[in-house]
Structure 1
Amino acid sequence: MTTPQLSPPPPTVTTADGTHPGGASQPAPPRTRVRRTGRRIARLAVVVAVLLAVSAGANAVLTVREGLTQPYGHLITLPGGGKVNASVSGNGEETFVIMPGFGSASPVLEFAPLVEDLDDHATVVVVEPFGYGWSDRQTSADRTVENMATELHQSLAALHVHQPYTLVAHSIGALYALDYVNRFPGEVRAVVTIDGSPPIDAVAAEAPQSRWLRLWTLSGVTRWVSMVEPTLFVRAPRDTYSEAALRQLRMLVLRNDSTPALVEESHRMRQNVQATKGLSFPAELPVLAFVAQETIDVSPEWLPAHQEQLDGLVRSKLIVMDGSHYLHYDHSPGIADAVRTFLDSPARTR
């Protein structure tokens, strides 16, 4: 019996595009798939790089154009060098000095609603620290509480601000106000804090900013995001500002994003908290504290820290308001009325 001879299988033939002549596709070798994936990633990287380059170029052109905008207020040259911007509203004998929270792109515009509610019968001064508003974006002076207070004092002296004045401090501005009243005690009539930061570890633990964050602004990403969703950067309700004011606010958000002065200030936060932990408001100084319910809800030590600051003062009051950290957006008329009532009342209100 003859054993049948089996013919060897025909060789596999593929075309140049990797398909079988019969039409059936054959799986590509692993190396081929890796090369294809690599080429796709490379093409995608080129597209992204081109888009970022175009975005950065357009952003640079718009930044130069916006830089020609006429600044509000006027610049003050400080004795230590550098210029800060200041705005003065109203002409009443009572004087309020606004101290902004950390990183406010434009203190003058941010507090405009509150200023309008205060300046009918008073003078309201807003001094923008280095890195804020139209002030110089950097300074050689360290961002310590001492320097922050001294620069404000020098600015008020240059403006010939009538003494005594009331400090109105928001957020981290309250920390600087605490140092200020101990450094220049005879010049301050009262202190008003708007969800002010007390010298507690929770404030010291806030993460410092990185200089690399400015790459988002330089690339144009921050600009396009702010145009699509402006409330991410301008936290006020949409009907708070005119379109012209919103455009200027967005421009200043881009101008002052992660400036050298702001980055350095953020890195000094822990040191500044430690420097003020041993300080207290002078016993005879009237202090009115507005505290946001939303902040109390997320920080259990927030309310007790404010209550402790007011203990032992001859005249003080604490008012808890519904709302976010930015109470001056939603409650500026109520804040202004409460401030006037508090200052006009000679009796202890606690």
Structure 2
Amino acid sequence: MKTPGKLVTVNQHQMHVYYHEANTDRPTIVLLAGSGTACPTYDFKPLWRLLEGHYSFAVVERPGYGWSEITDRPRDVDTMLEETREALNQAGISGPFIPTAHSMSGLEAICWGQKYPKEVSAIIGLDMAVPAAYEEVALPKAFALMIGIAHLLKRPIANARVKSHPAVKQGLLTKEEVAAMKQITAQQLLSQNIVDETKFVYKNAKKVAAGNCPQVPVLCILANDKGVLKNTPSWGKVHQEYFADNRQTEFLELDCGHYVHCEEPEKVAKAMKEFIH
């Protein structure tokens, strides 16, 4: 199976970076997938295809995602951030960057802005999480059982997920890409690193909450996803509160599901272009 991007070595493990360079002096957009998105490169395609030629962008697949190998390193936010930064470095991609984070990876994007403000020119949230969002969410009591069942049914679950994915339904992937997405999704479905990230998320949220809100321009795109709002009723409120002290924050609410970059890619791309200029 052909690797769409470049494999680089980070902490003795291979990580996959899909990079498209544009002839522009604008910062590089770094697309960071949410928890459990098994094949980020193709999951983001509805969005990145609209960015091609306008911006340089990179999809950095964390260990246990996409074409990246499993790692034995802990899934604390600092480790994950350093892996992302080193993967970009090894791929020859220099900053400044615009971390563009979906869901749980919002914690990594915020941490990036806290620790390395000179590298981060802005942050874009694709219905991303902020620390307080995890105060209302708890792991399901049958989490271990759910993982076991998912592993037993990897192939049919992967096939169903890929078949229903907007990029596939809209014909945005080639036959080869669809086949690769099915294989990668089955391989990485609830990988050990994905499971460990979920277990670390509460500690990571507290770590990020202890730092200051990054004082960089922020575009916070929020969805009115029923599932997210059921688990976290104050989803929109906690974002407004977290960025209250950052006067460079813009909010955009979309009437769609949690995967805003898949469901409303044209609106997301338009908002990003207006935000970045």
- On whether the aligned pair clears a TM of 0.5, the verdict is yes
Shift of 1:212: 7.5
1:163 and 2:95 correspond? yes
1:333 and 2:266 correspond? yes
Task: Please give the alpha-carbon distance, in whole angstroms, between the structure 2 residues aligned to 1:211 and 1:123.
Answer: 42
Cα separation, partners in 2 of 1:114 and 1:83, compared to 1, 3 Å: same
Name 1:189's counterpart in structure 2. 121
Match among 301, 319, 322 for residue 252 of structure 2: 319
Shift of 1:216: 4.5
Secondary structure of 1:176's counterpart equals: helix
Match among 274, 290, 308 for residue 206 of structure 2: 274
Instruction: Provide, for residues 285-337 of structure 1, a one-character-per-residue CA deviation record: whole Å limited to 9, x for no partner.
Output: 00000000125743321111111122122311000100000011121121111
Cα separation, partners in 2 of 1:146 and 1:134, compared to 1, 3 Å: same
Instruction: Give the counterpart letter for 2:18 in structure 1.
Output: S
Secondary structure of 2:275's counterpart equals: helix
Task: Please give the alpha-carbon distance, in whole angstroms, between the structure 2 residues aligned to 1:233 and 1:269.
Answer: 28
Name 1:256's counterpart in structure 2. 188
Shift of 1:92: 3.1
1:301 and 2:234 correspond? yes
Task: Please give the alpha-carbon distance, in whole angstroms, between the structure 2 residues aligned to 1:303 and 1:321.
Answer: 12
Secondary structure of 1:121's counterpart equals: coil
Name 1:89's counterpart in structure 2. 20
Task: Please give the alpha-carbon distance, in whole angstroms, between the structure 2 residues aligned to 1:233 and 1:263.
Answer: 23
Shift of 1:111: 0.3
Shift of 1:152: 0.8
Q: Describe how 1:219-258 pairs up with structure 2 within 5 A.
A: 219=152, 221-227=153-159, 229-230=160-161, 234=165, 238-242=169-173, 243-258=175-190
Shifted more, 157-166 versus 233-242: the winner is 233-242
Cα separation, partners in 2 of 1:162 and 1:206, compared to 1, 3 Å: same
Gaps of 5+ in 2: none
Instruction: Give the counterpart letter for 1:213 in structure 2.
Output: I
Please tell me the root mean square deviation across aligned C-alpha atoms, in Å.
2.3
Name 1:154's counterpart in structure 2. 86
Name 1:134's counterpart in structure 2. 67
Instruction: Provide, for residues 256-308 of structure 1, a one-character-per-residue CA deviation record: whole Å limited to 9, x for no partner.
Output: 0222211221211111111112233323x000000001257433211111111
| Larger relative contact order (Cα-Cα within 8 Å, sequence gap ≥ 6) | 2
Task: Please give the alpha-carbon distance, in whole angstroms, between the structure 2 residues aligned to 1:171 and 1:257.
Answer: 17
Instruction: Give the counterpart letter for 1:238 in structure 2.
Output: K
Matched pairs, number:
270
Work out whether residues 168 and 193 of structure 1, in 8 Å CA contact, stay in contact via their aligned partners in 2. yes
Task: Please give the alpha-carbon distance, in whole angstroms, between the structure 2 residues aligned to 1:235 and 1:279.
Answer: 36
Instruction: Give the counterpart letter for 1:198 in structure 2.
Output: V
Instruction: Give the counterpart letter for 1:276 in structure 2.
Output: V
Match among 117, 129, 132 for residue 50 of structure 2: 117
Gaps of 5+ in 1: 1-68, 345-350
The TM-score normalised by the length of structure 2 is 0.89
State percent identity of aligned pairs: 23
Task: Please give the alpha-carbon distance, in whole angstroms, between the structure 1 residues aligned to 2:106 and 2:73.
Answer: 20
Work out whether residues 243 and 249 of structure 2, in 8 Å CA contact, stay in contact via their aligned partners in 1. yes
1:172 and 2:172 correspond? no
Work out whether residues 205 and 270 of structure 1, in 8 Å CA contact, stay in contact via their aligned partners in 2. no
